[in-house]
């Protein structure tokens, strides 16, 4: 009977280890950012595109980009230069911003898919491509999530069909979350392409020195 006490202690230790592991995984899952690129109004290319923060913490939007794929096999990357921030409790679009904080449950109106594809310059002058030339679209965003110093990202791809009347369809029902360590380099490259910093690096220590150094 002397072995019962050690066995019981070992079982209790295993139970507590499993419990804490499950608690940690649940905590990590609940605090992980989750962003959605939402296509409203079905297949209409004039429908609005929204960036929705479904996470439990505020994120700071650093950049939103669109990658266009043409019939000729070309690839064009552009900045979504204007979008409107809407709070979780707001009924109307109330502010035009380029970047900024996005509260839990809030969303950004990125514009209609047609305007995103053609770009703002299409309102003032002719673009160097036609809407009918575009066969695929990838919309992506890089944000800073409170608990981590590294930017995280989200992206979603769409296909365009120009037979009959133009239609746009998502290639997947999900918005791809780029929140893992292996995704950091790719998301950081989006931000560097957008901001063109003088110093680039894979970690904070590579680029945190803000002073100018001279020989």
Give the per-residue pLDDT at 113: 93
pLDDT digits (tens, 9 = 90+) for 132-148: 999 999 999 999 987 67
HEC profile for the chain?
Answer: CCCHHHHHHHHHHHHHHHHHHHHHHHHHHHCCCCEEEEECCCCCCCCEEEEEECCCCCEEEEEEEEEEEECCCCEEEEECCCEEEECCCCCCCCCEECCEEECCCCEEEEEEHHHHHHCHHHHCCCCCCCHHHEEEEEEEEEEEECCCCCEEEEEEEEEEECCCCCEEEECCCCCEEECCHHHHHHHHHHHHHHHCCCCCCCCHHHHCCCCCCCC
CA 150, chain centre distance (Å):
13
Residues of the chain with pLDDT under 50: 91-98, 121-125, 205, 208-215
Q: Please check whether residue 118 is in contact with residue 131, taking contact to mean a CB–CB distance below 8 angstroms.
A: yes
Give the per-residue pLDDT at 71: 92
Give the per-residue pLDDT at 196: 77
Give the per-residue pLDDT at 124: 45
Closest CA to 51 of 119, 101, 14, 125: 101
Q: Note the pTM of the prediction, 2 decimals.
A: 0.74
Give the per-residue pLDDT at 161: 94
Q: Please check whether residue 173 is in contact with residue 157, taking contact to mean a CB–CB distance below 8 angstroms.
A: no
According to DSSP, the residues that pair with 84 across neighbouring strands are 96, 109
Give the per-residue pLDDT at 41: 77
Q: Please check whether residue 43 is in contact with residue 168, taking contact to mean a CB–CB distance below 8 angstroms.
A: yes
Give the per-residue pLDDT at 26: 63
Give the per-residue pLDDT at 138: 97
Burial class for 13, CB neighbours closer than 10 Å (0-12, 13-18, 19+): exposed
Q: Is the dihedral of CA 170, 160, 140, 46 positive or negative?
A: negative
CA distance 143 to 178: 10
Give the per-residue pLDDT at 84: 58
Give the per-residue pLDDT at 171: 93
Give the per-residue pLDDT at 212: 47
């Amino acid at each position: 009977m002397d072995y019962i006490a050690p066995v019981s202690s070992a079982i209790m230790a295993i139970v507590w280890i499993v419990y804490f592991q499950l608690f940690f995984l649940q905590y990590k899952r609940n605090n992980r950012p989750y962003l959605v690129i939402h296509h409203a109004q079905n297949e209409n290319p004039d429908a609005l595109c929204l960036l929705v923060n479904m996470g439990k913490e505020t994120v700071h939007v650093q950049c939103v980009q669109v990658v266009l794929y043409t019939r000729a096999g070309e690839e064009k990357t552009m900045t979504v230069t204007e979008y409107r921030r809407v709070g979780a409790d707001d009924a109307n679009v109330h502010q035009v911003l380029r970047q900024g904080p996005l509260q839990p449950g809030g969303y950004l109106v990125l514009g209609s898919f047609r305007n995103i594809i053609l770009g703002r310059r299409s309102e003032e002058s002719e673009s160097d491509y036609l809407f009918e030339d575009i066969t695929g679209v990838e919309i992506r965003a890089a944000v800073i999530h409170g608990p981590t110093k590294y930017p995280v990202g989200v992206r979603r791809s769409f296909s365009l069909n120009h037979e009959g009347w133009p239609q746009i369809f998502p290639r997947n029902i999900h918005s791809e979350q780029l929140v893992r360590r292996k995704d950091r380099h790719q998301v950081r490259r989006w931000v560097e392409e957008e901001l063109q910093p003088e110093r680039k690096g894979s970690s904070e220590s590579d680029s945190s020195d803000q002073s100018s150094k001279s020989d």
